[in-house]
Structure 1
């Protein structure tokens, strides 16, 4: 929708349709007058020249000039105006990743995963993977293709949960069992929740693919997920060591001391420029050490916290989020707050739950559809951002749901990235895309559920003072957002 016809009364606006390797000119024009008789102040217009970075296409290993990180988010919003209008809410064909609907939903995540596996192109390469859900056939076939090319491939897969049958059917269909490329993990305590792949060249670990994306049609194309490649030999070597412990089928009791020794938590904030892996299971059954460490990092924020929640918010994080202070706390959760989940009354805490617009939910909007690919419909990312727009941001991302079981008994991996402003920029942009999308739908649901609500809520205010004041009121989150988002 053209903002010339639909102007914005805010100091925040995002272009979430921008493509890689492009130059954009954004022209910001102050507008006055009544809604039906707008007056544009052309003399005060401001032009911004923005160049988006090129996406790394994974055509061979990177040179020393390359970034240490490549990050891919799927679309994660099948319930959207874009999908409804572009595809008329069609049922996505999960078996055909090349279909227009699936390519749109993937947004490059599937393609990047396939290219990463495809780097193992001959006998000089090896892949070591640990996978929870492993039942998307095209990906299993890509692993098989790597084996056929001469690469040494070994995949630890969940052979204990309800996914066992689908995992083993997919493995069989790809011929990976006959290729001696799979290792069943049968430890029954906790869940075998990892989603990572280590790439080796000439027996040297060079990179790891990690993140929240299960190898399933729902994980890759359905709810929101991230695939994160770290090009760092030390990090890849740590993941390889962890993989070997998983392949040995160690129980949580036996693997804990190794994981704690090989991925120790820093004493306080990590060193500047560091990448810290955190492997689970690691905490004793009665310990909250690791979650408390994450909560302490969250509590160090001076301006902005961004937090994704697929399931429940642990009480350690609730205490930080519920504080009355000037830190903006953004939370996006797959569903609404449950009984006992308390994030306080501070207006600087903004919460959104996943949702979509049903029939007649909003005037002049097209009906959106549900997500048929997942039971956990909207949010599956597991990441936390601490002051992402500052000079020393902290990014925590990986497979763990910031829960006690994820640290005590589950197979999990996280990475803590300190002071990398490029990584923080990418995660922050994607967080705000997902948050804005669901926040609008969450507000619509909340407002329409009231017996009486302001019928003009959400419409433009004709008097400048009516909307501008809150953006310059030091007590308002909008004023803090205006200042913090500009880096001032």
Structure 2
């Protein structure tokens, strides 16, 4: 959901996603004079213990020079305003109503005055059954500071384990025992959504077809085994590769299904990187039995401790539209699953045959508003299509990627130095650094991935080798987010050559849906803001300037936002909807 309002020469545009609310501001040239910043108010929805919440001032971390302020403590924006034309609220919950009010601050830091701006009320996106698309993200490493504030007993346990032993083997279940709510908070609704889809198959009139790379988390394994016991028609394809540790883990957890011939190894020289579940209604029996897909769950989340609680991940559920009898997205996932399971001659097909089948039967459709795509395929047609979509950007490109990307994808994402497209993105290629892209190619930065203490130290110590070292596992590109015609690429696909030509992968390309774009775009900005702020803090510490970490006591901070045709100028106008 996005809304815009203007009052007294002050404009505010609000983008409400699933995990946050992004606020963008603008002022007329006349209102710019003497502007010290923006003071923001927030009205949260009723919650347990506070049925009638009141308006509250939003806080920041930066004071004016000489202003009394404890280092690292929050300071209210009515006395220390926000000196940016964009700010995000990540203390929100899905399917909840929030109101925001902006004031322009003038006067002096010691004697400020406030000019009232517009008020906007929005509802955040829901991860429940409220529509065709529901997009859910976990919190993961990017919420480390909030975790420390919310779960002091869990932090205390971490510190004890680190001091006396057992720190590396500490699990989220251990944390849950000392402080209930840890699992739900870290996974947000990602685990809940996966379990909900499995539970939706109530009996023998339902079927679940599951394609998974890493099949580990005990609650999901137990839920699938329970579905079999209640008569649900379950089929599973899981990653298998000779001598591969993940294969052994998958086979161990899938043994109850394998014994009943309900699960098969998808043997490949690369990786079976899919993670999706198709929920279908069942008609007929025996050879006449048919599955009618009604829902598909897809995204980037592996069924593991890492995938659910450590890495940044997404689950995207596509339900059958109300009043419709067909779910075209779920249908395509089911056809792919059935083709791999049975083959065209009732024999499971090889990866080479799959590539030929996908290339012939899953042609990239530039006209589709929602295109479910799969790989492997010949000639990197998917990467070529992704590049074409990114290159067509008119205003902005937001992205979150993992692992090493091919040069042609990198070139498309970051563009050419000085081009007019806003580019804000994060790439996670190893365990130590998070690469950031700030507005254009000349403003790249590298932020430390994890600190050496508390929650982040646990993340660093407890992560398994290899892919587990990746903290940002969400593969998302949002093109023209600030327009009414955005485009999203999301899924298991790593935007890499192996993902295109060797691995089994799936993804969605969605065009023109601003509500879905708001969910994805705001989440990309959540991750981006976290690591950008971490880098800025480190740079300020290096400079050791007396003004580092403080606000400007005049309107000079606005200069770069009004320098015509600069990227800051475009940022101000585009996010404000101008």
Tell me the TM-score normalized by structure 2.
Answer: 0.73
| Deviation for aligned residue 1:476 | 3.1
The CA RMSD over aligned residues, in Å, is: 2.8
1:473 to 563, 570, 577: 563
Name the structure 2 match of 1:295. 387
The answer (yes or no) to whether the contact 1:303–1:387 under 8 Å persists in 2 is yes
Which whole-Å CA distance do the structure 1 matches of 2:439 and 2:191 have between them? 40
Q: Which shows bigger deviation, 244-253 or 160-169? A: 244-253
Larger Rg: 2
Name the structure 1 match of 2:572. 482
Q: Which has the higher helix share?
A: 2
Which whole-Å CA distance do the structure 1 matches of 2:458 and 2:561 have between them? 35
The answer (yes or no) to whether the contact 1:309–1:334 under 8 Å persists in 2 is yes
| Deviation for aligned residue 1:411 | 0.6
| Deviation for aligned residue 1:282 | 0.4
Name the structure 2 match of 1:220. 308
1:151-300 mapped onto 2 (5 Å cutoff): 151-160=232-241, 161-172=244-255, 175-187=256-268, 189-202=269-282, 203-232=291-320, 233-248=327-342, 249-266=348-365, 270-271=366-367, 274-283=369-378, 287-300=379-392
Task: State how many pairs are aligned.
Answer: 458
**Correspondence 1:400 to 2:400:** no
Q: Report SS of the residue matched to 1:318.
A: helix
1:68 to 125, 132, 149: 132
Instruction: Give unmatched runs, 5+ long, in structure 1.
Output: 59-65, 360-365
Moved over 6 A (4+): 336-339, 341-345
**Correspondence 1:133 to 2:214:** yes
Which whole-Å CA distance do the structure 1 matches of 2:181 and 2:392 have between them? 43
Tell me the TM-score normalized by structure 1.
Answer: 0.86
Residue deviations 1:299-354 (CA, integer Å, cap 9, x gap): 11011101212111321123222313110111212257999x99899467665656
Which whole-Å CA distance do the structure 1 matches of 2:138 and 2:431 have between them? 25
Residue deviations 1:212-254 (CA, integer Å, cap 9, x gap): 0000011011110000011252211111121123335533321
Name the structure 1 match of 2:58. none
| Deviation for aligned residue 1:57 | 3.1
Change (3 A) 1:345 1:68: closer
Name the structure 2 match of 1:116. 197
Which whole-Å CA distance do the structure 1 matches of 2:385 and 2:429 have between them? 26
Name the structure 1 match of 2:141. 77
Which whole-Å CA distance do the structure 2 matches of 1:356 and 1:462 have between them? 34
1:36-115 mapped onto 2 (5 Å cutoff): 37=110, 39-41=112-114, 44-53=115-124, 55-58=126-129, 67-77=131-141, 80-88=144-152, 89=155, 91=158, 93-95=171-173, 99-115=180-196
| Deviation for aligned residue 1:107 | 0.9
Which whole-Å CA distance do the structure 1 matches of 2:99 and 2:514 have between them? 23
Which whole-Å CA distance do the structure 1 matches of 2:147 and 2:489 have between them? 30
2:552 to 461, 475, 480: 461
Residue deviations 1:180-236 (CA, integer Å, cap 9, x gap): 32111122x211111011110122011211000000011011110000011252211
**Correspondence 1:4 to 2:78:** yes
Name the structure 1 match of 2:518. 425
Change (3 A) 1:114 1:326: same
| Deviation for aligned residue 1:96 | 6.5
